[in-house]
Structure 1
């Protein structure tokens, strides 16, 4: 099973109450006592090396995973055997929600860099959620957020040009990083351009042309994996223009 073979047996004790992404994660809004009860479900945090799978398609659901440090990609294999990236998860976000309906994971989750996760045993989480309505509410919010993200992705793939898709992706990543205390204008992409293209439904050469076009417009400079947003308002207007067109 990937859950036992993927971690290199590096395990560390942690506490929700002292976590740097507490305000973004499952304990959001819980009282001190409620956080302590949730913390009892997390026996250890787990280190996952870059390129190693946290879980694979078909693995049984054991835990949900809160990303504490680092980042992950989720992906599935298309009919022709190519990887289709379905999402990127960073600190404060959850992995493993895909397995709730069938008790089996429907995608691979692979670390994009050396990362750490907090595993939360799902059966125990369900039991505690019945006792703590605030925890159940938070879990519902996380599930709803995933649905909204899927809707946004469908709209992006169905209606946006390649430039607009890339702009929306960079804006989304910028906002998520900023909420974690990082710069909204200068950041490093942990994923390869091919992976971004897979996620956005674009070929690598189309991604490269979109990067060049956003640079020529004076909106974004991307050198290697280093991103500098030069005109945040202009980038937002590019994406908003697509939304106005849809309405």
Structure 2
């Protein structure tokens, strides 16, 4: 890839504010382009990296949707997260230089490959970049803590409501509708992530639909009553 192409991929990318630090002038941004080595296209169903693979790079999702997962001792897949455009993947590999999960494309996708050595080198020159990487890591810790709360203390309805609210909030931050979207993951993958059986996920979707909270047509979801969904996720205590 030519330097000009990289500049289009990073400096002028409309997702830059989501995955790169803000507050850089044009000269700094030109240097920041050195973080990105290339772009990589991933077909639906293909893996970006596998558990146990040597860690070399972080990946900024330019287009598409991914899931991360681990394999349980009995061979089942446990979904650990869903990632979308503007988010960074690969942080799991920093701790011991090997990835600890699988990253699989849920649709055709494109990522910006950012060799970690490039990030470390530029972080010494630009402390704001180092702070940004720390911020991304912190956000991942907060996300994992939120998942633990979902799995530990919430009923099925609360788990699914929290999942839908989080998903639509993240999509809206990327310029999409704040009330309707297409699920890129299956009901089974949602259940794996939320610690729910497939039947429970389907039944809860139907319940929300019957109550007029959402409209569901296969993978199309429209939130009809966001306040009701919020109350399901965060019910008011009895007085």
Same fold (TM over 0.5): yes
Match of 1:163 among 140, 157, 160: 157
Asked whether 1:19 is paired with 2:13, we answer: yes
Query: In the aligned structure 1, how far is the partner of 2:22 from the partner of 2:220?
Result: 31
Structure 2 match to 1:144: 138
The number of residues matched between the two structures is: 232
The 3-state SS of whatever aligns with 1:40 is: helix
Query: In the aligned structure 2, how far is the partner of 1:43 from the partner of 1:124?
Result: 9
Match of 1:153 among 147, 155, 161: 147
Equivalent residues of 2:181, 2:221 under 8 A apart? yes
Query: In the aligned structure 2, how far is the partner of 1:161 from the partner of 1:232?
Result: 18
Structure 2 match to 1:9: none
Structure 2 match to 1:123: 117
Q: Which moves more between the two structures, 215-224 or 172-181?
A: 215-224
Equivalent residues of 1:30, 1:135 under 8 A apart? no
Normalised by the length of structure 2, the TM-score is 0.94
Deviation of 1:226 after TM superposition, in Å, equals 0.2
Equivalent residues of 1:27, 1:35 under 8 A apart? no
The 3-state SS of whatever aligns with 1:28 is: coil
CA deviations on 1:39-88 (whole Å, 9 max, x unpaired) are 12313211110000000011111100000000100000011110000000
Q: Which moves more between the two structures, 38-47 or 181-190?
A: 38-47
Which stretches in structure 2 are left out of the alignment for 5+ residues? none
Equivalent residues of 2:37, 2:115 under 8 A apart? no
Asked whether 1:195 is paired with 2:183, we answer: no
Equivalent residues of 1:64, 1:122 under 8 A apart? yes
Equivalent residues of 2:36, 2:113 under 8 A apart? yes
Deviation of 1:137 after TM superposition, in Å, equals 0.8
Query: In the aligned structure 2, how far is the partner of 1:31 from the partner of 1:144?
Result: 25
Structure 1 match to 2:177: 183
Q: Given the superposition, is the C-alpha separation of residues 29 and 142 from structure 1 closer, same or farther in structure 2, using an over 3 Å criterion?
A: farther
Deviation of 1:33 after TM superposition, in Å, equals 2.3
Structure 1 match to 2:36: 42
The 3-state SS of whatever aligns with 2:83 is: strand
Asked whether 1:174 is paired with 2:176, we answer: no
Deviation of 1:185 after TM superposition, in Å, equals 0.7
Query: In the aligned structure 1, how far is the partner of 2:121 from the partner of 2:37?
Result: 16
